[in-house]
């Protein structure tokens, strides 16, 4: 029993480490791509590593209160937790993570854990921009969760399970078994929702440069910022892995995982560099419009 537990925990550490490194690299890569699109040279690929090492190495002597202190901790715990509840690689013991503890519903709700904690931390910083950003973020989140939820319901009807492992194994045996081909409506609805989750333009209303720079993390610095940046890599990848599992047949090895998640992420990046920012209410209306209708259609078609 003890040995089993230790093994599982050790595997989880390995899985987490791999994903963190990949996540940071991915972030660096995307920064580079975006810079090139903008016509800039851009930072080096390893810039995110430099950032987090620098920030994490810094000591801080100030804080705004307990919740402020705990905010980044909540955030990264949320990111790590979300990732660890998703089986990353199908059939791999090392990358199965803690997926035995709950199904898709758990992951969907664990998304909120970090956001809520971070929102509280940002709130205690007392900075008005933080509060405004949180208000925007939560509002947008309720909107993009609707098409996503509908899409997930459509999957639940399709596969008659909420277990992620179950959904992935149902998609094995060829590219045409992937949800993206068997249930395109649900996939499209979910991918649009993903644009919102990734908070690239036009949905970058939370961090919103030039408007409420930089939103919730305004008062967070050094070690706090380090945690937040680390989380950004992990949480980002947790979402991508989830989408890969749900809609693109999952991955049987790390290479496929990298290829698939990179491709999924590119969608956000391409949209992000192409569109200007929405206002909050526009974003809410957008998500409750066509994507939601697509989601409802996906549910209806599955039910028929």
Partner 1 sequence: MVEPIYLFIILPVAAFLMGSLHQHLNRWQVFIFFTVLLFSFYLPIPWLIHLLKGGSTAQVFTAGFLPPISINLQIGIEEAFLMTIINLLGIMGAFYLLHHFRGTVYGPILYLVFIMGLNGIIMTRDLFNLFVFMEITSISLYSLITLSGSSENLTAGFKYIIASGIASILFLIGTIYLYYLTGTLNIDVMIASGYKIVGPAGSIALIMLLSAIIVELKQFPVNGWALDIYTASDPGIAAIIAGGSSSAMFFAAYKLLPLWSPSLSSIIAGIGIMTYVLMNLMGLKQVKANRLLGYSSIAQIGLLVGLSALLLHSTPVTGLTTIWIILGGLLINHLLAKAGLFWISGLIKGESLSSWSVLRKYPSLLFIFACLLMALAGLPPFPGFWVKWNIAMQLAQHKQFLWLGFIMLGTLLEAVYFFRWFGLIMKSELTTGIRVRISSLLPIFTGTFLMFFISLTMMNLLSGFNFNMLLPILIATLIFALKLIPGKLKALMTIFIIMFYFYFLLPELSGLYRLFAIIFFPLSALFMIAAMNKPGYRNGYFELLILIVLSLGNLLTSHTSLQFFYSWEVITVATYLIILRGVKRFDTALLYLVFSLAGALMILAGFSYSYAVTGSTFLGILGSSNSQITIYILLVGGFLIKTGAVGVHIWLPGAYAETEDDFSPIISAILSKTGILGLLLVLLLMGKSFAANTELNTILGWIGVLTAFLGALFAIFQEDLKYMLAYSSMGQVGYIVLALALYSHLGWTAALYLAFNHIFFKGILFLAAAGIIQRLGTRKMYEMGGLINRMPLSFLAVLISIIALSGVPPLSGFGSKWLLYNALLEKEWYLQAALAFFASTVAFLYCFRLIHSIFLGQEKTRFRQVKEASLWFLIPQYVLIALIMLISLFPNIIIEPIAQVMADFIPATLSWEGNTLMSSLGYWNGNVIMIITMGVFMIPLIGLLLRVRSMQKVKQFNIVYAAERPDKPETTHVAHNFFPHYQKALGFLVTPLVSKFWAAVSEWCHTIAGVLRNIYTGNGQTYALHIVFMVVLIYILAGV
State which residue, 47 or 161, has the beta carbon closest to partner 1: 161
State which residue, 25 or 161, has the beta carbon closest to partner 1: 161
DSSP code at position 59:
-
Omega before 202 within 30 of 0, i.e. cis: yes
Q: Nearest approach, Cβ of 280 to partner 1 (angstroms)?
A: 4
17 contacts: CB under 8 Å, gap ≥ 6: none
Q: Nearest approach, Cβ of 288 to partner 1 (angstroms)?
A: 8
C-alpha span between 194 and 190 (Å, rounded)? 6
Q: Nearest approach, Cβ of 210 to partner 1 (angstroms)?
A: 12
Q: Cβ distance 152 to 111 under 8 Å? A: no
Helix 66-84 and helix 222-247, axial crossing angle in degrees, nearest 10: 30
Burial pattern 260-271, b for ≥16 Cβ within 10 A else e, equals bbbebbebbbeb
C-alpha span between 15 and 144 (Å, rounded)? 29
State which residue, 91 or 102, has the beta carbon closest to partner 1: 102
Q: Cβ distance 204 to 214 under 8 Å? A: no
Q: Nearest approach, Cβ of 49 to partner 1 (angstroms)?
A: 17
Q: Nearest approach, Cβ of 174 to partner 1 (angstroms)?
A: 25
Helix 128-159 and helix 280-288, axial crossing angle in degrees, nearest 10: 10
State which residue, 266 or 300, has the beta carbon closest to partner 1: 300
Q: Nearest approach, Cβ of 275 to partner 1 (angstroms)?
A: 19
| Residue 265: C-alpha distances to residues 44, 191, 203, 213, 270 (Å) | 19, 10, 15, 24, 9
State which residue, 129 or 243, has the beta carbon closest to partner 1: 129
State which residue, 8 or 35, has the beta carbon closest to partner 1: 8
Q: Nearest approach, Cβ of 17 to partner 1 (angstroms)?
A: 13
State which residue, 147 or 249, has the beta carbon closest to partner 1: 147
Question: Taking phi first (over 0 means left), then psi (-120 to 50 degrees means alpha), and beta for anything else, what does residue 160 get?
Answer: left
């Amino acid at each position: 029993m003890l040995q089993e537990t230790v093994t599982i925990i050790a595997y989880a550490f390995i899985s987490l480490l791999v994903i963190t490194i990949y996540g940071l690299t991915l972030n660096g890569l995307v920064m580079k791509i975006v810079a090139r699109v903008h016509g800039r040279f851009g930072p080096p690929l390893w810039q995110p590593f430099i950032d987090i090492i620098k920030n994490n190495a810094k000591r801080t002597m100030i804080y705004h209160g307990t919740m402020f202190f705990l905010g980044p901790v909540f955030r990264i715990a949320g990111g790590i937790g979300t990732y660890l509840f998703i089986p990353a690689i199908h059939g791999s013991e090392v990358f199965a993570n803690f997926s035995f503890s709950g199904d898709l519903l758990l992951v969907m709700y664990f998304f909120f854990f970090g956001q809520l904690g971070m929102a509280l931390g940002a709130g205690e910083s007392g900075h008005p921009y933080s509060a405004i950003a949180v208000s925007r973020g939560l509002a947008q989140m309720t909107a993009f969760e609707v098409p996503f939820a509908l899409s997930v319901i459509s999957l639940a009807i399709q596969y008659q399970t909420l277990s992620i492992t179950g959904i992935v194994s149902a998609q094995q045996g060829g590219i045409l078994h992937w949800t993206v081909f068997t249930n395109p409506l649900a996939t499209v609805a979910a991918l649009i929702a993903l644009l919102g989750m990734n908070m690239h333009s036009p949905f970058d209303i939370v961090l919103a440069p030039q408007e409420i720079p930089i939103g919730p993390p305004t008062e967070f610095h050094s070690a706090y910022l380090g945690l937040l940046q680390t989380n950004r890599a992990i949480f980002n990848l947790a979402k991508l892995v989830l989408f890969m599992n749900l809609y693109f047949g999952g991955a049987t090895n790390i290479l496929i995982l990298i290829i698939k998640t990179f491709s999924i992420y590119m969608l956000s990046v391409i949209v992000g560099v192409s569109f200007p920012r929405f206002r909050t209410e526009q974003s809410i209306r957008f998500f409750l419009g066509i994507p939601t209708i697509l989601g409802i259609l996906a549910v209806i078609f599955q039910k028929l």
